[in-house]
Structure 1
Amino acid sequence: MLTTSRGISLVLAIAIATLTVAFLSLLDDATPTLLVVAGGLSFSVSYLLTYVTLEFLIFKEISNIYTVLEKIQKKDLSGVAEKPKKSSISPLRKINDTINSYAQAKNKEIETLQRNAAFRREFIADISHELKTPIFAAQGYVHTLMDGAVDDQKVRDKFLKRAAKSLNSLDKLVQDLLTLNQMESGVVKFHYEVFDVRELIQEVIEQLENKAEKRNVAIRFTFDEDKNHWTKADKDKIYRVCQNLISNAIKYNHEGGEAHINLKTKKNHLNIEIRDNGQGIPAEDLKRIFERFYRVEKSRSREKGGTGLGLAIVKHILEGHKSKISVSSTVGKGSIFTFSLPLAKNKLTKGNPKPTTTK
């Protein structure tokens, strides 16, 4: 009973009322009625004041502190909400706020560690699988040749070409990993220059023409006539962004499909949109397609080639340019990738050709 605010308040109120009555009884003109009234008033006032003080300024805060400490002990901080700071006369409120802040910090730290641990496990599994595929393929061809197939010139040439192709894939994977790691660590420096984005996109299209022809995919490039298409950025890295996105628009398109690149000049920036009418991306995969090694359809994506790092590199390149890439997609209808670059107004384009269609 004495461990609750009611019990302590009752004992203190009785003690104060008793002292008050005893003191008043020493007076000559103190009547029994006066003593009863004084005792009752002192008991009531003392009980209420003591109860309110203990319950709301001490016991309530202690209860909150114990609740938070129990959750910390159980490592369950999901219910610990960050509350707004309120002024209080309670001497324990500051302690309670400090513990809450500590619990919040530990909760965020635990969540971050859990996410990092899950990411490391997934990354190690992915990279092990990605490295294993070309290594085992090249190893198989070489061992076959060593077992006697090297004497057959036709088989030897065929297997050596396949082994070289597997090793080239391995080299590309390692190079992409190094590039991505350097970007994430800030080692890669951006070399800014002023260039024409329209001409850069046309260079990418020319480089991918054969790939598009093999899949019977038409590439359409439209842009605003007689407008400025100059920007200040790292030309080589923006070339890689466009190359990756346009290549994907061809790779994941239907036979006889269309990849449409639209370049628009806005007030202060250039808007680049790459659209395809291919297989599309499910909604649950949209948020993860820029992660390393994430593939929407792992088997089909691997058959089409690539390292699974292209979109992750694209994201980091654009973030380095203070830009973001957005994507929208409908399964069976295609996908749209959009990003923007700053408009350089100190250059003027002259004699821009009309919108072109490249097949």
Structure 2
Amino acid sequence: MKRIRFFQTVQWKVVILYLLLILIAMQVIGAYFIRATESYYLNNFNETLNTQANLLAVNVEKYLEEENIPREDIDNLIRNLFALRNADVQLLDQNGTVLTTTEENKAFIGQKNTRAEINMALLGTRNESIQYNPETRQRVKVLALPIKKGTKILGVLYMVASMEEVYHTMRQINGIFATGTVLALLLTAALGIVLSRTITTPVKEITRQATAMVGGDFNGQVRIYSEDEIGQLGETFNLLTRKLKQALSQTEAEKEKLSSILTNMTDGVIAADGNRNIILVNKPAQRILGVGYKKVLGKNLYEVLAIPGEEEWDFLFKENGSMLMDMNVDVDGEERLIRFSFTVLKSRGEEKKSGIIAVLQDVTEQEAMEKERKEFVANVSHELRTPLTTLKSYLEALEEGVIDDPELSRRFLRVLLNETDRMTRLVTDLLQLSRYDAGQYMLDLQPLSVHELLQDVFERFALRSQQENIALQVDLPADSLPLVKADRDNIIQVLDNLISNAMKYSNENTTVVMRAHEEEEAVRIEIIDEGMGIRRRDLDRIFERFYRVDKARSRSMGGTGLGLSIARQIVLVHGGTIDIDSEWQKGTRVSFTLPLYGENEDET
């Protein structure tokens, strides 16, 4: 497996390609060169043999014409004229009898040679051929040359020449060529490796960087080895890396911005694809619906929002593109009023929906505040209309003649003054509440002794408690309480309101107790009475403006219904808390805390 991968690399493909090209080129050149060389040597050998044969035939012709052929002269002539090595020469007469030979075996002299080549030569036909000698296992050139004078055949010159030197020379040439081919291949392989590395090394660098980019690392750079096309590719890849890094950085920044926006939005956002499957839910939406991210991801939007009649809603989406609806949703056992705003997203140039964006708003508190506002306006109108009606009635009576009756007119004027005072208190309380709501209040925070504060309030209400036959007590710890940080006038207003309410709703021969004790980082002050108490259903709304437990009794006593609301606002702006606990027909306990005063704190 590794070997296959090894040969699949570009580097070795280039090397093998070069080797094959060189091998094919050497083979083609070698075949042509060897064929031409072999032809040259063979032609040269044949020309030499024919030249020697013709020269020898001309010179022995005169000897063959004589009746007594001088054998010794012919032998000398052949030795002197015939220069080929590894060649045997036989001279035959017109009858085919061997007259002389250069062979070592002289037994052939005087014998008749009946070879086919010689018989054809005796008939006047020149014959030559290449034959294989089984004894020497060599190729030989056989030449039978007739010696003629005119048309008369005087004899035959029979020559057998070994061609082994020619083929030996060819084998040496082939060996040299093969060696050259091997050296060329080795040199080509070396040059191919060097050349391929100049190509594959930058490619490997680019591959390495591309792999790193897949893993998210865009900090690397491809090393540039040259200024050719490969180098230009590397520079282009580096530029691409920088552009991708910038683009991804911008995308990531935009993604973080979007994520931050979605996370910090007070409204919930749910995104669904074209099939209404949820693909995104931000944390406010999870909190509003009381669901987890993984629980709703991939689920149907209508199913999660419990929207009935999917086909009907789809029709509305197609018609309007967006819609608004309110729905009561049960979140952790509490019914919340959720406002849904749907917007259908469509791809440009396409009719098919590409997604739905649902914006969720928990308007429970808003609706409650709106309801309170309406009730507040109605209560203010009612509270003002009652004394105004009374004022108008008495003024009309005075105008109609009651003013002439001194005793009755004085009684009417006292009623008018009481109603005017009541309206003044109401307007004053409303103005005070509006300043607290708008944050337009000034506190003179000073170190304040709770002992002195409660004693002062006790002395102020001592006479009233005697008149109403209600015992007023102050219960303080033996140890002195630490100083608190508070505005004296505002806290006295709170205590006046709480003690007035306690005495107002208490019967005779009962007790109202003012108690104080230290808690962690605060002092808690409690007002406890034994009055009529408050029903449990009214406790949650007791601090609402104009809310009265006993409306008839409150109005008869001149209450505006704003006292506890003002007390609560004063305590809250001091950084404290106020609580009320009551049991019907047994009494009520109202407590609030004030923060301790630090020695290093500035007085503001």
Q: Using the TM superposition, give the Cα deviation of residue 228 of structure 1 relative to its aligned residue in structure 2, in angstroms.
A: 2.9
2:277 is aligned to: 61
Q: In the aligned structure 2, how far is the partner of 1:226 from the partner of 1:142?
A: 59
TM-score normalised by structure 2 residue count = 0.42
The amino acid across from 1:288 in the alignment is R
Q: 1:267 to 1:113 in 2, by over 3 A?
A: closer
| Partners of 1:78 and 1:134 in 2: CA distance | 41
Distance 1:120 1:79, change over 3 A: closer
8 Å contact kept, 1:173–1:307 = yes
Quote the RMSD (CA, aligned, Å): 2.7
* Partner Cα distance (1:255, 1:244) in 2: 19
CA drift at 1:267: 4.8
Give how far 1:345 is off: 6.0
More helix by share: 1
Give the match for residue 526 of structure 2.
273
Give 1:336's aligned residue.
589
Map residues 182-331 of structure 1 onto 2, 5 A cutoff.
Answer: 182-331=435-584
Counterparts of 1:241 and 1:79, CA distance in 2: 39
Letter in structure 1 aligned against 2:569: H
Give 1:3's aligned residue. Answer: none
Question: Aligned residue pairs: how many?
Answer: 273
Which residue of structure 1 lines up, in the alignment, with residue 370 of structure 2?
Answer: 117
Alignment CA distance shift 1:305-1:65 (3 Å): same
Q: What code does the residue aligned with 2:498 have?
A: L
Distance, in Å, in 1 between the alignment partners of 2:534 and 2:573 is: 26
Residue matched to 1:155 = 408
Amino acid at match of 2:328: S
Question: How far does the alpha carbon of each residue in 1:134-183 deviate from its partner, in whole angstroms, 9 at most, with x for none?
Answer: 22222222221111111222112221111111101100000000000100
- What do the CA deviations read for 1:67-96 (whole angstroms, capped 9, x no partner)? 5495795824434879xxxxxxxxxxxx98
Hey, what does 2:3 align to over in structure 1? Answer: none
TM-score (norm 1): 0.69
The 2-side partners of 1:314 and 1:131 are apart by: 22
Q: Distance in 2 between matches of 1:177 and 1:167?
A: 15
**Post-superposition offset of 1:59:** 5.1
Larger radius of gyration: 2
The 3 A distance-change label for structure 1 pair 260 and 150 is same
More strand by share: 2
Contact 2:485 2:597 in 1 (8 A): yes
SS in 2 for 1:288: coil
Aligned to 2:432: 179
Aligned amino acid, residue 61 of structure 1: N
Q: Which residue of 2 aligns with 1:75?
A: 325
Q: Does the CA-based 8 Å contact 1:269-1:341 persist in structure 2?
A: yes
Structure 2: runs of 5 or more not aligned? 1-272, 279-298, 314-322, 333-353
Q: What code does the residue aligned with 1:289 have?
A: I
SS in 2 for 1:75: strand
Q: CA deviation at 1:221?
A: 0.5
Which residue does 1:354 correspond to in 2?
A: none
Q: Percent identity?
A: 34
8 A contact 1:227–1:265 mirrored in 2: no
- Structure 1 unaligned runs (5+)? 1-56, 83-94, 348-359
2-side partners of 1:184 and 1:334: how far apart? Answer: 31
SS in 2 for 1:208: helix
Q: Is the 8 A contact 1:264 1:270 kept in 2?
A: yes
Counterpart in 1 of 2:419?
Answer: 166
Residue 60 of structure 1 deviates from its aligned partner by 7.1
